[in-house]
Structure formats: C-alpha cells, structure tokens
Structure 1
Amino acid sequence: MEISFKHVNFDYQAGTPFEQRALFDVDFTIPNHSYTAIIGHTGSGKSTILQHLNALLKPTEGEVWIGSEKIDDTTANKSLKPIRKKVGIVFQFPESQLFEETVIKDIAFGPQNFGVSEKDALEIARQTAAMVGLDENVLEKSPFDLSGGQMRRVAIAGVLAMQPEVLVLDEPTAGLDPQGRIDMMEMFYRLYREKGMSIILVTHNMDDVCDYAEHVIVVEKGRIAKTGSPKELFKDMNWMLDKQLGRSTANQFFSKLVEKGLKTDANPLTTEELTSFIIAKYQEANRC
C-alpha cells in the first residue's frame, strides 16, 4: 500500500495563541512493499510525520493518501478506524503499553476490538506469537513476568495481530543490547521479505539504515531535506556529517583506513560490503 504526503503543513494547537508549525510543505511518496527509513535530529519533525502515517494526526493543510484513502483537515474521525488497521505503529518502548493479564490475551486484544471473535482472535494471537519468536509456553503467563526483550515482542505481536499492510517502527531497538537489536531488526526484515509487508523505520541508528533500508527520507526543521537510497545519501558524506546525521559503524572504520592513506573511490556502508572490500584488497595484494 502506497502512502503519499502532498504539500502537508501541520500546526500544533492550530487557531490558538500557542499555534506552532511543525511541518512545512512536506511532500513525498513511500512505495508499496518498500523498506523506508526516516531520519533526522530530535525535534526535526519525524514523530509528527509518523503520527500522520495512520491518521493519529491530520494535516492542517495538504493531504495524506494512505492507499486510496485521502486524509485532510476535513476527514471525520469515525472514518479512520479501517486506516489504523492497515497501518500499525510500534512506538518506542511498546512494552509500556501492555496491560492484559496474559500474553495471549494482550496479543488478541486488537483483533477483538475490531470485531474478530474471541476464538479466532486467540488463534491469530498464537500464530502471531510464533511469528515474533515467542514460545508457546509463555502465552498463558503475565507479560510482566517476561524479560524486557520478550515483553517488546509481545507488544509487537499485538500490532501484527491486526494484520497491517504497513508496519511503522519508532526507534524499535531503543534500550536493547547489541544482540537483541540484531535479532529484532532481522525479525522485521523477515516480515518485509516473507510477508510482503511495507516497513517504515524511524531511527537514529545509521547501521540499521544502511543494513536494511532501500529508501531514506531526511527530515530537518519540519521539512524534507533530502531523499534517496542509502548509497545516494552517504555518497555525499560531507553533507551527512554537516547535518550531524552520523555514519554506519562499518563506514566509520573504513574512514580510518582512508585517513591512514588508503587510496580508493569505494565507500562501503555495511559490514558485508566492508568485508568484501578488504578481502578483494587482500587478494589483489597477494596476486602482486
């Protein structure tokens, strides 16, 4: 399902003396079945854009198209429920939103809220729990008796149980250890590759951007500063550094090699690319 912003402006507390514009003429398209990263500083407008993705906020001016549904300032709230089923949002620290007495009931809550029978909702919950790597033996436990990583998987399963077409992830690995981060990101990538789900990742982590995203949207002061593939954006490394957006771990390591005198036009962004580059250089040196 394609999502398009068409000249969107958004004001907090519009029409009051405290009115403050957060988005300025935002215009972009997220293609169907794509993996898109939205990056930018804290306060750049990422979270405001995120809340427009399933109409938690509506534009003050302009239009947001979610599939064939148009959202503008005149859209009635009662018409938004089907849209929110199609676009699921996993907020930062989603485990803080758990509330049911058992894991399976928490996961099943969303489908039941949309009219699915209890029996069918529980079956969906079991399937979704397996999808995110939760063992059958935790389903009847309280979610609050689980580890932090397991609690986050329960919360994510609750969003996936709604069977959305688009999954929006707001800093999904915040607070996780390195292995937990990798496991979580690999799980989302499998959903993208195997389930045909579109993924929209809001993050400060350039490793995740370079490892997974196909398309990147850079937000700055409520405006779209640049869009493109990770390769296209990081090709202009001076621009990225000037915007203080950082670089991936692999690219930081590579820059140290360049500083030590390595002559090359290459610019590896991922660990895989860096490894391939080093192996190729090693083989070239041995042939000489």
Structure 2
Amino acid sequence: MATEIKFEQVNYWYQAGTPFAVQALKNIDLHITPGSFTAVVGQTGSGKSTMIQHLNALLKPSSGTVTIGDQVITNETNNKHLKPLRKKVGMVFQFPENQLFEETVLKDIAFGPQNFGVSEADATALAKRMAAEVGLDESLLSRSPFDLSGGQMRRVAIAGVLALEPEVLVLDEPTAGLDPRGRLEIMQLVTQLRDEQGLTIVLITHQMDDVANYADHVLVMGHGELIKQGSPREIFSDPKWLEAHQLGLPSATKFAYELQQAGFRFDTMPLTVDELADELAPQLQKGANSHE
C-alpha cells in the first residue's frame, strides 16, 4: 500500500462568496508519507477538523490541490469521481458510536462494504474478520451495538471503517470520553493496525502523551494555518513556544522540566515514561551511592 497525501496551497472558505464567508484553511502545504503515523494538534477552532475532511473529499479545497495517491482533488473535481477515494481513506469521527444504527454489531460492520457493492455473504465474512481484528469477541456480533460498553462501541465503529479495507485511517479524537484503560486499548489497537496492515494513520488529538508515544510526525495547526511540523521531539523541544500557542507537553516531559529546575540533568529531554526512567536511573543510583 502506498497512498501518499499532499496538500499544495490549500485554502478553504466556509460559505464562500457570501457576506458570511470565513476562511478556515490558509495556504496549507503538507506531505504525509505512506505508512506514517501523523498526529494533528492545535486548539479548538485551529482548522484541524476542516483539514482532515479534505483527506477523503468530504470538503474540497476552495483553491489549491489535494493529492491522495493518484487522485488530484480541486474545487472543480466532480463528486461522481470521489467514491473510490472514500473507500481508500477511512474516516473515524469523534464519538463514532453515534453513527451506529443497525440492529446487530455484525450488520453494522457489514453495512459499508455492501454499500460499495460487496455481496451480503462476502460483506458478512469481511465483517467477522474485521471484528476479530479490533478485538471484538464473536459472541458480541449478534447483539445490538447499543448494548455494548463505550470502548466496545468504538471498536465496532472502527471495524466498520476497516471493513472498507482502506489504505489510510483518519481518526478524530478516537479516545475522547474513554477511561484511561479504554484510551490505552484504542491507541494500542491503532498502532497494531498500522504495523499489521501497513495503514497510514492520521490522528487528531489533544492528548500529548499519545503524540509522544505513537506518532512519528506532528502537524500543529493554528488559526487555519500549519504553524509548525516535525517529529514529536522537535515539536516538544520548546516549552515556551508550546505555552504561547496554548499547547501542553507530554506528562513525562513536563515532569522532566520540573526536575531540571531541581538540579537534575537530561542529555535528551524524555518524551515518554520509559525514556524518563532511563534518564533518571543513573542519576538516582549515583545519588544513592554518594550517600553510602
């Protein structure tokens, strides 16, 4: 799978050409490589959701071009030509369980493929496979999706998107409203899907720990512009810049900066709990030895 994503000078206005026109995206240039895990961060209203809706042409650019694989989308692109793209780029919206509607879990997961012309028998087989892929027990398939826990309902919604066999999986705050364990399970699932199926992952999140633990590239949006991009280490290397843009630090990095004020030294600022432990262990051991 090799679906490359490019935005070139993308602008988008809501209610374009009316007195109420609002520019939501301004001159966006970006490149998402196949198989990468890209996190999109920024304050509410920064343009994150508008930007990701261009990834499967729910929105088309007012000007500029969006290229996904071999498909180039402009303001002139005919909607008739977009159906294959919606199969290639799977979109999981925030609180996706609100989009469940079938009487059983199995029918809900099979709905998408049938909508794209897959036979009922093949769609059912595919739905069973994707349910197993996201860790849903077979005993749940005949139940109503509304009888499940929040985390299970979210897995059903993700399985329904995976049943379209996309090459890119776009997730808008996939852990919103879940407890810490549910959040961890969903993020581990997303990582597993990327590793096993070679999916390109695009994740909108406010959880900086998830950015540090899982992403390899970060896009920072602000007031409709792409204001910074880079690896998590590059993005989190400047706490003052993050604070100025009302963005947080991963908890391990925040703790490390506080320890630095107390005299601890870090060769590299840790992003994760494991990195923090590795940096602290020799310093704590040295301190213990000096007191013997």
Match of 2:191 among 184, 189, 192: 189
Q: 2:10·2:65 contact (CA, 8 Å) conserved in 1?
A: yes
Q: Provide the residue aligned with 2:251 in structure 1.
A: 249
Question: What pairs with 1:105-120 in structure 2 (closer than 5 Å)?
Answer: 105-120=107-122
Distance 2:209 2:266 in 1: 22
Q: Provide the residue aligned with 2:204 in structure 1.
A: 202
Deviation of 1:284 after TM superposition, in Å, equals: 4.2
Asked if 1:27 is matched to 2:29, the reply is: yes
Distance 2:152 2:221 in 1: 32
Distance 2:282 2:116 in 1: 55
More deviation in 32-41 or 272-281?
A: 272-281
More deviation in 265-274 or 157-166?
A: 265-274
Deviation of 1:286 after TM superposition, in Å, equals: 5.5
Asked if 1:140 is matched to 2:142, the reply is: yes
Match of 1:87 among 82, 86, 89: 89
Q: 2:266·2:279 contact (CA, 8 Å) conserved in 1?
A: no
How many pairs are equivalent? 288
Q: Secondary structure at the match of 1:112?
A: helix
Match of 2:100 among 98, 101, 107: 98
Q: Secondary structure at the match of 1:125?
A: helix
Deviation of 1:285 after TM superposition, in Å, equals: 4.2
Deviation of 1:259 after TM superposition, in Å, equals: 2.1
Deviations 1:103-158 (A, max 9, x none): 00000000000010000000000000001110000000111111111111111110
Distance 1:256 1:205 in 2: 20
Deviation of 1:5 after TM superposition, in Å, equals: 0.3
Deviation of 1:256 after TM superposition, in Å, equals: 2.1
Distance 1:221 1:280 in 2: 43
Match of 1:218 among 217, 220, 224: 220
Q: Provide the residue aligned with 1:3 in structure 2.
A: 5
Q: 2:10·2:63 contact (CA, 8 Å) conserved in 1?
A: yes
Distance 1:33 1:252 in 2: 29
Q: Provide the residue aligned with 1:52 in structure 2.
A: 54
C-alpha RMSD of matched pairs (Å): 1.1
Question: What pairs with 1:256-267 in structure 2 (closer than 5 Å)?
Answer: 256-267=258-269
Asked if 1:124 is matched to 2:126, the reply is: yes
Deviations 1:221-246 (A, max 9, x none): 00110110001111122211221110
- Structure 1 residues 24 and 50: CA distance shift in structure 2, 3 A: same
Unpaired runs of at least 5, structure 2: none
Deviations 1:170-206 (A, max 9, x none): 0000000001100100000001111100100001110
Match of 1:62 among 61, 64, 72: 64
Distance 1:165 1:266 in 2: 35
| Amino acid paired to 1:147 | S
Distance 2:281 2:260 in 1: 16
Q: Secondary structure at the match of 2:236?
A: helix
Identity fraction in percent: 58
Distance 1:102 1:123 in 2: 15
Deviation of 1:261 after TM superposition, in Å, equals: 2.1
Deviation of 1:255 after TM superposition, in Å, equals: 2.0
Q: Secondary structure at the match of 2:30?
A: strand
Distance 2:226 2:146 in 1: 40
| Amino acid paired to 2:157 | A
Q: TM-score, normalised by structure 1?
A: 0.97
Q: Provide the residue aligned with 2:38 in structure 1.
A: 36
More deviation in 230-239 or 57-66?
A: 230-239
Distance 2:288 2:195 in 1: 38
Q: Secondary structure at the match of 1:52?
A: coil
Q: Provide the residue aligned with 1:170 in structure 2.
A: 172
Q: TM-score, normalised by structure 2?
A: 0.96
Deviations 1:10-50 (A, max 9, x none): 01011112111111100010011100001000000001001
Unpaired runs of at least 5, structure 1: none
